[in-house]
């Protein structure tokens, strides 16, 4: 049995997503807890899926498969998901865990949640199911941006997701950004609900056209479909980070 001491806040957040860092974590909080790591046997639907070393490869970082704290055994969600065939996604801004399919929370610039997006893999791309409220009626530019935003400062999301180096707009004869999408049409009551497929992108981790870890942005005005860099659609008024 191996014992280590960690900051409780850092440990709880990190282990939730299967990513404990072994250096410097004791300074992450003023309160500390002592935990122990024991190698577990994992028997899933009649099949022995126990690892050789009791470690879990969490996106390239080796972490313990379990920890024991005050008599309770904890297992990383990503490990549990892998064992039962379900993907697990983490989004740091909203501190959200999605199981099975990515769930995106949409926020305005004040940090108030005004909607959500559910993502599922489709044969030709990624299906978006969006629901939002408290928007101004009319058409609004809607794009995927290259980075997640931080602190509800939507400018930190960088430009459009554009791995192929294309120009902006579906009406552009030279091809459009992968992050270019149709305008959202908000009703008179400030709500919008839409369901469509973004062609050419994927939810597969590590792929050049993967949108995991990117962000959605809703703009103040309509996207004209051709003007670089964002179709003259105005300020970014709503954002949502896509988990990964």
Judgement on whether residues 139 and 226 belong to the same structural domain of the protein: yes
Judgement on whether residues 126 and 221 belong to the same structural domain of the protein: yes
Q: What is the pLDDT of residue 126?
A: 97
Distance CA(212)–CA(192), nearest Å, equals 23
Runs of H (alpha helix) within 18-61: none
Q: Which of 86, 109, 129 is the C-terminal boundary of a domain?
A: 86
Strand, coil or helix: 48: strand
Of 49-53, 57-61, 109-113, 169-173, minimum mean pLDDT range: 169-173
Distance in angstroms between the alpha carbons of the first and the last residue of the chain = 32
- pLDDT of 10 higher than 80: no
The answer to the question of residue 137 being in a domain is yes
Q: What is the pLDDT of residue 135?
A: 98
Judgement on whether residues 78 and 46 belong to the same structural domain of the protein: yes
Judgement on whether residues 223 and 134 belong to the same structural domain of the protein: yes
Judgement on whether residues 183 and 152 belong to the same structural domain of the protein: yes
Show the domain range for 32.
2-86
The answer to the question of residue 68 being in a domain is yes
> Which CATH number fits the domain that encloses residue 118?
2.60.40.200
Judgement on whether residues 105 and 78 belong to the same structural domain of the protein: no
Number of folded domains that form the chain:
2
Q: Which of 57, 86, 115 is the C-terminal boundary of a domain?
A: 86
The answer to the question of residue 93 being in a domain is no
pTM of the model: 0.78
Q: What is the pLDDT of residue 9?
A: 47
Judgement on whether residues 55 and 24 belong to the same structural domain of the protein: yes
Judgement on whether residues 119 and 178 belong to the same structural domain of the protein: yes
Judgement on whether residues 124 and 180 belong to the same structural domain of the protein: yes
Judgement on whether residues 180 and 69 belong to the same structural domain of the protein: no
Q: Which has more pLDDT, 186 or 36?
A: 186
Judgement on whether residues 66 and 140 belong to the same structural domain of the protein: no
Percent of the chain at pLDDT exceeding 90:
47
Runs of H (alpha helix) within 65-164: 77-84
The answer to the question of residue 91 being in a domain is no
Active site residue ranges? 143, 145, 160, 168, 177, 180, 219, 236
The answer to whether the CB of 102 falls within 8 A of the CB of 203 is: yes
- pLDDT of 22 higher than 90: no
Judgement on whether residues 122 and 217 belong to the same structural domain of the protein: yes
| Close Cβ partners of 115 (under 8 Å, ≥ 6 residues apart) | 105, 106, 130, 131, 132, 133, 192, 238, 240
- pLDDT of 152 higher than 80: yes
- pLDDT classification of 119: cutoffs 50, 70, 90: very high
- pLDDT of 163 higher than 50: yes
The answer to the question of residue 92 being in a domain is no
């Amino acid at each position: 049995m191996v014992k280590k001491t960690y900051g409780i806040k850092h440990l709880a957040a990190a282990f939730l997503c299967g990513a404990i860092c072994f250096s410097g974590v004791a300074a992450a909080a003023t309160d500390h807890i002592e935990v122990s790591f024991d190698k577990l046997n994992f028997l899933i639907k009649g099949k022995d899926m126990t690892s050789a070393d009791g470690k879990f490869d969490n996106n390239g970082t080796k972490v313990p498969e379990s920890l024991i704290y005050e008599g309770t055994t904890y297992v990383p969600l990503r490990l549990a998901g892998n064992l039962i065939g379900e993907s697990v996604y983490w989004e740091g801004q909203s501190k959200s865990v999605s199981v099975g399919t990515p769930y995106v929370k949409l926020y305005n610039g004040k940090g108030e949640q005004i909607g959500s997006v559910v993502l599922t893999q489709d044969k030709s791309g990624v299906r978006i199911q969006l629901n939002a409220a408290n928007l101004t009626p009319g058409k609004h530019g809607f794009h995927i941006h290259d980075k997640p935003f931080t602190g509800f400062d939507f400018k930190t999301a960088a430009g459009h997701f554009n791995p192929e180096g294309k120009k902006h707009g579906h009406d552009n004869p030279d091809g459009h950004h992968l992050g270019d999408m149709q305008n959202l049409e908000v009703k008179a009551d400030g709500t919008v609900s839409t369901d469509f497929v973004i062609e050419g992108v994927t939810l597969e981790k590590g792929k050049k056209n993967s949108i995991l870890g990117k962000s959605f942005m809703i703009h103040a005005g309509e996207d004209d479909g051709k003007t670089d860099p964002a179709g003259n659609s105005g300020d970014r008024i709503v954002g949502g980070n896509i988990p990964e």
